[in-house]
């Protein structure tokens, strides 16, 4: 495995992700931000942040698969949420967890969540970008 997730003893431990990803590999994959769209570019989950988050993470998995990577290869995730607050954070986790269940994986990679005023197109509530490391 090229990515080892770590909970440092002297850093606050949170339930939704690990604080560190220790990577060993020679290939780095950078994903563009994935939004909640289908292969035709249609918005999925209008006004439903959890549904959009789920689709974003499924799209991350599909993008990784295109280059022979899996969610286990993820080293870092950045999530942009329109109007991020506690309720929207809970919805984000719910959608992420649904995607993880569909994919049969745990999504505990280090992540940063950023509240924004808008994304690139009207109706999008969540965008997920990621970095993966492969052997």
Q: Tell whether the model's pLDDT for residue 3 goes beyond 90.
A: no
Q: Which long-range contacts (CB under 8 A, 24 or more apart) does 55-60 make?
A: 55/95, 55/99, 56/95, 56/99, 56/126, 56/127, 56/128, 57/95, 57/96, 57/99, 57/100, 57/103, 57/107, 57/128, 58/99, 58/102, 58/103, 59/34, 59/35, 59/128, 60/31, 60/34, 60/128, 60/130
pLDDT value, residue 22:
83
Q: Tell whether the model's pLDDT for residue 33 goes beyond 70.
A: yes
* Domain annotation covers residue 113: yes
pLDDT digits (tens, 9 = 90+) for 44-90: 999 999 999 999 999 999 999 999 999 999 999 999 999 999 999 99
Cα 53 from Cα 42, distance rounded (Å) = 15
Mean pLDDT of the chain: 93
Cα 36 from Cα 44, distance rounded (Å) = 5
Cα 95 from Cα 14, distance rounded (Å) = 18
pLDDT value, residue 103:
98
The answer to whether residues 2 and 25 touch, using CB atoms and an 8 Å cutoff, is yes
* Domain annotation covers residue 77: yes
* Domain annotation covers residue 23: no
* Domain annotation covers residue 111: yes
pLDDT value, residue 124:
98
**Placement of tokens 């986790």 in the chain:** 93
* Domain annotation covers residue 13: no
Q: How confident is the model at residue 1 (pLDDT cuts 50, 70, 90)?
A: low
Which tokens in the block code for residue 38?
């289908």
pTM for the predicted model, two decimal places: 0.89
Domain count within the chain: 1
Which tokens in the block code for residue 111?
């992540």
The mean per-residue pLDDT over the stretch 109-135 comes to 95
The mean per-residue pLDDT over the stretch 107-128 comes to 96
* Domain annotation covers residue 62: yes
pLDDT digits (tens, 9 = 90+) for 79-96: 999 999 999 999 999 999
* Higher-scoring residue by pLDDT: 8, 133: 133
**Placement of tokens 């999504």 in the chain:** 107
CATH number at residue 71: 3.30.1330.40
* Domain annotation covers residue 14: no
* Domain annotation covers residue 22: no
- The residue segments making up the domain with residue 107 are 3-7+30-134
């Amino acid at each position: 495995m090229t990515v080892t997730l770590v909970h440092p003893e002297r850093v606050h431990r949170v339930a939704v992700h690990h604080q560190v990803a220790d990577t060993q590999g020679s290939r780095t994959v950078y994903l563009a931000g994935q939004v909640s769209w289908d292969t035709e570019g249609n918005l999925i989950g209008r006004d439903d942040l959890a549904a959009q988050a789920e689709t974003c993470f499924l799209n991350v998995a599909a993008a990784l698969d295109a280059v022979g990577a899996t969610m286990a290869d993820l080293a870092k995730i950045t999530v942009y949420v329109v109007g991020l607050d506690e309720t929207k954070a809970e919805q984000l986790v719910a959608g992420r967890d649904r995607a993880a269940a569909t994919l049969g994986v745990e999504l505990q990679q280090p992540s940063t969540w950023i509240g924004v005023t808008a994304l690139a197109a009207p109706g999008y509530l969540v965008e997920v970008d990621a970095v993966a490391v492969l052997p």
